Amino acid sequence: MKTIEDRGPNKVSGTDIIIRKAGLFRSGLVVALQVLVDCASFFLAYLCSLLLRSGGDVRPELWDEYIRAIFLQVAVYFLFFILFSLYRTLWKTAGIDELIRVGFASTLAAGTGYLISLFTGWLLPVSVYFAGAALVIMFAGFSRIAYRLLRRIQGGMMGSDQWLRALIVGAGEMGSAAIRQMNEQAAMRMRAIVAVDDDKSKVRRMVRGVPVEGTRMDIPRLAEKHRIDVIVLCLPRVDEKDRREIIALCSRTTCAIKTMPSMQELMDRQLPGSMRDIDVGDLLSRPEREYDETGIREYLLGRTVLVTGGGGSIGSELCRQIARFEPARLVIFDVYENCAYELAQEMKRQFPKIRIAVEIGTIRDTKRLDELFGKYKPEVVFHAAAHKHVPLMENNPAEAVKNNVFGTLNTAQAAVNHGVRRFILISTDKAVNPTSVMGASKRMAEYVIQYMNSFGKTRFAAVRFGNVLGSNGSVIPLFRKQIEEGGPVTVTDKDITRFFMTIPEAAKLVLQAGAFAKGGEIFILDMGEPVRVDDVARTLIRLSGFRPDIDIKVVYSGLRPGEKLYEELFLDEEKPDESGFPGIYVGKVQSPPPEVTKRNLDWLYEQIESGEDARTCFTALIETYHPEKGNEDPS
């Protein structure tokens, strides 16, 4: 017997069929109701027209003509209403466009009906036809917007204490759409009270009955004046710098903040035009960079691409980005089957033409890696598999070495043995002057990549970047969970800073760096300015509608073992060069000679196998490893 998992991508279950049939039945009922309402509108419109024409006293012979002619007119009207697609519009979205189509259809139907009546002899007075058309427009048009009017009246009947008071930022088309959405969708439980716009020609005017009372600088004042509960950003075309400034102004209030999707989100992610919660990524993200998609496409198009750790935060986003460049096959390799399986199902839905393979295994298993590379013959490898949690690796140092160092070595050797063209390691800023076992293990992984670049024809390179917003184990999900639970929000140190980048931005830059790889480079991604984690925590609290230290406490727990007060992206001696592409630098890395690295790796393996402490080994192998300096102030 086949399970649900055995079904092909195009097969449909019995439950799916029942749901679809139910949906079709409901749609059929709605269309039937529209037809009945229109039928009543046609008969009533022409009856009223005839009565108006006759002053309420209709001659018997004119009644006979009306009865013969009205059925012809109804048929003509239905024909034109179908031609103008008036039975394909949802009532809840009916608006001015539908009224215009009703007007055109009714006018043409009246004229056509009159011409046909000239030939049939079933003729009514000319004024009846055109007065009837005007009444049809009134009756049929009203029936189409009545549903929306009823929804608005229903919302208006709610008590003022039952809905949230909203401030709209941006009084353009999207602001107007947001106000309309609030007015017509009672389930939102939200009403627009006031709006702001930086276009001063809109100030002191109204948008859908909502006054525009100032510019962005007035947001804190107006939020307090009007007792605003939620601020809605309607800024589809604003650049990222202005967007961050506006969010910063909003975060000075105690209001929750929501946003309508930007034009980039609508185009890239195809999101529906409804509002979503603001995210800290909106505040910390940088302006959208242009990418050399031609260069990326050249090394991915038609290739077999393997992503180790493909089910993780970075690995999964890499898979999504890679698929856009149409590889022949995408192989997702991960030790955790659930995440890898869910990603594969998502990918098959979004990219049905790309062959997706999921393989389960660990990079510690050389035999499994040899099987994997032999089976698929990948031409490009992105190595994202790693242990990355700093405190956990401090407690399990040998595991960090086995996975991050020798797992990378195993994968790189398999790549050389099977003729892989490019191999890109995902590294971290914690590898720079490491103070943690995790950071030191990733620094050793960078040594491995440069060492392996001496063998075969594979181009090895590493890409180094900082914290990724929303990734597994990152601080943002932890803060959100703590806020949801009512606090406190724990920050290790008031002065701790980190570089932040969004997952999509990091993945795009990794792919871009891969296009530049000639062999042996360490690419360093521009992370912008470091951000105080304390500021991030307090901003998240405000974005959630709470007041830091009043509604939600912020407590400082102290630096954890191996944790640095600040991060760096490159060593002093690296002196990174421009790569020729904005946002990517190339570090001038002085790596040990291949024979030295080989000797060091053999020694490290022996020490770890004999139970030696990894910290002692790293101290001997990595000159810049200083575990005691994790809590030093950079100043």
What is the C-alpha separation between 461 and 380, in angstroms, rounded? 12
φ/ψ (deg, to 5) at 463:
-120, 125
Give me the phi and psi of 609, to 5 degrees please: -65, -30
Q: What is the C-alpha to C-alpha distance for residues 278 and 300, in angstroms, rounded to an integer?
A: 34
Other CB atoms within 10 A of residue 522 CB: 25
The answer to whether residues 123 and 69 touch, using CB atoms and an 8 Å cutoff, is: yes
3-state helix, strand, coil split of the chain in percent (to 5) is 50, 15, 35
268 within 8 A of 291, measured Cβ to Cβ: no
Radius of gyration of the chain (CA): 33
Q: How many CA atoms lie within 13 A of 165 on its CB side?
A: 15
Widest distance between CA atoms in the chain: 113
Q: Does 598 qualify as catalytic in the annotation?
A: no
- What number of other Cβ atoms are within 10 A of residue 54's Cβ? 14
Strand duo 210-211 + 206-207: pairing = antiparallel
CA dihedral 6, 11, 12, 14 (to 10 degrees): -60
First-last CA distance in the chain: 67
Which SS3 state, helix, strand or coil, does residue 490 take?
A: strand
Nearest Cα residue to 89 out of 109, 75, 105: 105
The neighbour count for residue 98, using CB atoms within 10 Å, is 20
The C-alpha atoms of residue 152 and residue 443 are separated, in whole angstroms, by 61
Q: Look up residue 592 and give its DSSP letter.
A: P
Q: How many CB atoms lie within 10 A of CB 128?
A: 27
Q: Report yes or no: 39 and 143 within 8 Å, Cβ to Cβ.
A: no
The residue assigned the tokens 């890499």 is: 318
SS (H, E, C) 26-85: HHHHHHHHHHHHHHHHHHHHHHHHHHHHHCCCCCHHHHHHHHHHHHHHHHHHHHHHHHCC
Catalytic residue, from 388, 430, 508, 564: name it. Answer: 430
Question: Which positions are catalytic?
Answer: 430
